[in-house]
Structure 1
Amino acid sequence: MNYRPVGKSGLSVSETGFGCMSLAKAPDAEATAIVHTAVDAGINYFDTADLYDKGANEELIGKLLKPVRSKIVLATKVGNRWKDDGSGWDWNPTKDYILKAVDESLRRLQTDYIDLYQLHGGTMDDPIDETIEAFEQLVQQGKIRHYGISSIRPNVIRAYTEESNIISVMLQYSLLDRRPEETVLDLLKTNGMGVMVRGALAQGLLAGKAPKEYLGHPVSTVQSAAGQVKKQATASGTTPSAWATQYVLNNPAVSSVVTGISTMEQLLEAIAPRPQPDAAWFDELERSVPASQYREHR
């Protein structure tokens, strides 16, 4: 397993991150085996959220990771609060809520500290200064080591880059979603912040799922991109997901690609050796998919 720094934070994380959201789908014994195998394979970055399964996901991850807590970088998220009747959730980035929510996450995760506490969204209408105050207070109290945000909105990312001490941004990025390449990736790299990528397989479209329109790309473009990835995978004896992931990892701003894992098969594919293509291959891929830009939240 290869490891990368998270910006200038001092944290080092596995290139393959473990996205925990769907792990509850696995039976208990299988979930235990999956997590232990992941740790043995060198995965040290595990990402969950208090929103997932109404907190039960944090409880599961906390139980499974407790024996190896000192070996891993544990990340969770805050900002979405379930309604009392369980019918949905509201957005709450206030200081009071964050300071209360962290204690519940710590309890569920069975830990004294969270390595990376992330705001689970964010808009320019939020009380951003207040939100930052909450995270800074938690750092001072030792309840969290670092904080970041999970957002695709350039204006929100820019605001936190300028006003806070975030160490990372989780965002969607893939060959079929090259919007972060316009300004966001360079902005974060320049400011010493890491990128945690989600959606590197574009809902599975780059890993064998039937093509469909995606983020404004017509079916023909999706087919072309998936075809390029599959061609290289077939020639090298690897998998399309490995090549799609390698495209994302080629950007120096990226710290980890967080892959949703709920089966042993998915884990083994995620930790399989990845190809090391030359620059010409990346150029060829980029010609197959036009670069796009964020149209909103600029």
Structure 2
Amino acid sequence: MKYRKLGNTGIEVSEIAFGSEFLVERPYEDTEVLIQACEENGINFLDCWMSEPDVRSHLGRAIKGNRDAWVIQGHLGATWQNEQYVRTRDMDKVIPAFEDFMQRFQIDTLDFGMIHYVDLLEDYEEIMNGPFIEYVRKLKDDGTIAHIGLSTHNPDIGILAAQNPEIELLMFSINPAFDMFGSMLDIEEYRKEDAYDREFSSINPKRAEIYELCEKNGTALTVMKGFAGGNLLSDETSPFGVALTPVQCIHYALSQKGVSSIFVGVKNPQELEESLKYCDATEAEKDYSQTLKNAPKNSYKGQCTYCGHCQPCSSGIDIAMVNKLFDLAKYHDEVPASIHEHYNNLKYDATECIACGECEPRCPFDVHIVDVMLDAQDLFGFKMF
């Protein structure tokens, strides 16, 4: 495992880091096994944005005996309300949720207090000129958090964060697909015949500016969505029409200016091993250029990456899971029994959708969620009780 410094903080972290999003609704033993596998392979960097209580408790228990070996990103603004993840700036919810994080992780100091998921300019301005940032500053002054970070999918917010000396770390979604189409505001540029002729011609200028700024200003840059929710790893779901390997995706992210580390979301040690192959991969195995050069001109706009930011659902639906099962099933002539069973075991399925549309403005990728729920109803049918 190789290590890189996190911007001006001086902290060294593993190039491959552990993203723990797939630990939701999993027993403690799964967390323990993955944490042990990370430690055995030199991974020392962990991100937890999930507000689900058991995830936090399990991670805290698993790292307790080796806390000093880990650098941790924890998020402020990710809360657990009515058994659902809710992103909020309501300080009456933000403060107890953060205190819960610290208690369940059994830590006194958090390495990076992350301002969670800021994708709108109004949200950024409200945070930076109100009680939210005042609370974050107090946490830093008190020594409860060592450094301030921010996570976003929006290049415009990324630029603002990289220019803000108070933000010491930026967590940003980076992969070949997202970089090609940037913020989706200039999508026609990426449908031109020569858009993919040169190796880096496809990177959106705003996204390239973020990477330059982070390197220039010493803002640590960490990567989320490196596999685009797993979509890049499958021929059927890749916007290029052909799968990339985890090694290629990791290499792409780590090749961008300013990037220190990429968080990989894995369910078990076997999936982790696929990412760890990067450490010993040849240059040929890392090379993604031919895939990008021959990529179809497809946009990622409207494609669910199962990030969960659409929550909460007023009907209690796990929207990301319904989307994922729908995507898995729609490529088959008949819905596989295993997928159908998983769908039937959901507490609330697509039939509970009331088409209120409240989830759609929260989606970073402009997925028409209500339409997906209707399509899922047609595909899976109604439950038979």
**Does structure 2 conserve the Cα–Cα contact (< 8 Å) formed by 1:99 and 1:138?**
no
* Aligned residue number for residue 108 of structure 1: 104
**Does structure 1 conserve the Cα–Cα contact (< 8 Å) formed by 2:171 and 2:223?**
yes
- How far residue 26 of structure 1 moved from its aligned partner, in angstroms, is 4.4
**Where in structure 1 do 4 or more consecutive aligned residues deviate above 6 Å?**
290-294
Q: 2:70 aligns with which of 62, 65, 72?
A: 72
**Does structure 1 conserve the Cα–Cα contact (< 8 Å) formed by 2:212 and 2:257?**
no
- How far residue 164 of structure 1 moved from its aligned partner, in angstroms, is 4.5
* TM-score of the superposed pair, with normalisation by structure 1: 0.80
**Does structure 2 conserve the Cα–Cα contact (< 8 Å) formed by 1:6 and 1:12?**
yes
* Aligned residue number for residue 317 of structure 2: none
Rounded Cα–Cα distance in structure 2 between residues aligned with 1:287 and 1:258: 26
Task: Kindly indicate whether residue 297 of structure 2 is the aligned counterpart of residue 288 of structure 1.
Answer: no
Rounded Cα–Cα distance in structure 1 between residues aligned with 2:267 and 2:60: 16
Equivalent residue letter for 1:187: L
Rounded Cα–Cα distance in structure 1 between residues aligned with 2:298 and 2:259: 18
> After superposition, where does 1:84-233 map in structure 2 within 5 Å?
85-86=82-83, 89-92=86-89, 94=91, 98-122=94-118, 123-126=120-123, 127=126, 128-130=128-130, 131-178=132-179, 179=182, 181-207=207-233, 209-212=234-237, 217=239, 222-224=240-242, 226=243, 229=244
Identity across aligned pairs (percent)?
Answer: 22
Give the direction of change, closer, same or farther, for the CA distance of 1:31–1:161 in structure 2 (3 Å limit): closer
SS at match of 1:139: helix
Equivalent residue letter for 1:89: V
Rounded Cα–Cα distance in structure 2 between residues aligned with 1:282 and 1:270: 15
For 1:64-96, what per-residue CA distance to the aligned partner results, in whole angstroms no more than 9, with x for missing partners? 00100011101111213333x3355252165x6
More deviation, 172-181/145-154: 172-181
For 1:215-239, what per-residue CA distance to the aligned partner results, in whole angstroms no more than 9, with x for missing partners? xx5xxxx125x3xx4xxxxxxxxxx
- How far residue 102 of structure 1 moved from its aligned partner, in angstroms, is 2.8
* TM-score of the superposed pair, with normalisation by structure 2: 0.63
Q: Which has the higher contact order (CA 8 A, sep 6+)?
A: 1
Rounded Cα–Cα distance in structure 2 between residues aligned with 1:140 and 1:188: 24
- Structure 2 gaps of 5+ residues are 183-203, 302-363, 365-385
Rounded Cα–Cα distance in structure 1 between residues aligned with 2:40 and 2:287: 32
SS at match of 1:77: strand
Rounded Cα–Cα distance in structure 2 between residues aligned with 1:158 and 1:291: 25
- Structure 1 gaps of 5+ residues are 230-239
* Aligned residue number for residue 2 of structure 1: 2
**Does structure 2 conserve the Cα–Cα contact (< 8 Å) formed by 1:24 and 1:60?**
no
SS at match of 1:38: helix
Give the direction of change, closer, same or farther, for the CA distance of 1:274–1:175 in structure 2 (3 Å limit): farther
For 1:30-49, what per-residue CA distance to the aligned partner results, in whole angstroms no more than 9, with x for missing partners? 43122112112100001112
- How far residue 100 of structure 1 moved from its aligned partner, in angstroms, is 4.2
* Aligned residue number for residue 18 of structure 2: 18
**Does structure 2 conserve the Cα–Cα contact (< 8 Å) formed by 1:23 and 1:262?**
yes
Q: How many residues are treated as equivalent by the alignment?
A: 270
For 1:246-268, what per-residue CA distance to the aligned partner results, in whole angstroms no more than 9, with x for missing partners? 12111131111101122121122
